[in-house]
Chains A and B, each alone.
Chain A
Amino acid sequence: GQQVMQIPQYQHVQEGEDFTTYCNSSTTLSNIQWYKQRPGGHPVFLIQLVKSGEVKKQKRLTFQFGEAKKNSSLHITATQTTDVGTYFCAGRGSGTYKYIFGTGTRLKVLA
């Protein structure tokens, strides 16, 4: 079945440093979504990417969808303590409503 892996599993950065998490699917995706989960909270939608090679920006966050629609990345520029949490990608295969979540990357930002 479809599997979605993320690296790294954990990342500790100093406040102000950049951060990137990578997401890889075993199958081609129709679209990919990114979520953030604060400690003790629930996943909250950040963005959706649909087109091959798509790049979207939200303030300090940049999201990319690979040309083959099998991988994606989230890059945060100049991290802040409010960026702390676990970032998940979630991929959907064609012809299904089913989103498979990646393994997540837990980000800690040291002030």
Chain B
Amino acid sequence: DAGVIQSPRHEVTEMGQEVTLRCKPISGHNSLFWYRQTMMRGLELLIYFNNNVPIDDSGMPEDRFSAKMPNASFSTLKIQPSEPRDSAVYFCASSLGASHTGELFFGEGSRLTVL
């Protein structure tokens, strides 16, 4: 299995631009999570989906952030407009959910720099 695939791996953009991060979970996994990692705040859960439905988005910082999961094999995290404080590594993770071990499989992350 290819594992969780994220793109882009690195993104440098200017303040005010739109950023779209993409994630392909492991086939057959029914839960998908978006985390953000910074030195100051550690690993923060932004949103998670179960069976393509957003279950909890209480970690999404503000209206500039949005996430979608149109089907079981694809999710996006969009930031519009981006700000320098959004600079972080964004991880996508998938799991089989509570019916299995619930182990989270992380992608390699998307490192975002907003100038």
Residues of A that sit less than 8 Å from B by CB: 1, 31, 33, 35, 41-45, 48, 88, 90, 92, 96-104
Contacts and interface: CB of A to CB of B under 8 A. Distances in A.
8 contacts: A41-B108, A42-B107, A48-B102, A88-B43, A97-B95, A97-B102, A98-B48, A99-B33
Nearest to A30: B98
Given A97-B50, A98-B56, A100-B45, A44 B102 contact: no
Interface range, B side: 20 to 34
A45 B103 contact: yes
Contacts of B48: 97-98
Contacts of A48: 101-103
Q: Chain B at the A interface: mostly helix, strand, loop or mixed?
A: strand
A48 B102 CA distance: 9
Contacts of B97: 97
Given A42-B107, A97-B55, A99-B33, A33 B102 contact: yes
B105 A96 contact: no
Interface of B: 31, 33, 35, 42-45, 48, 50, 55-56, 58, 91, 93, 95, 97-98, 101-109
Contacts of B45: 98-101
Contact of A43 (B50, B102, B104): B104
Contacts of A101: 35, 42-45
Contacts of B105: 45
B47 to A, nearest CB: 10
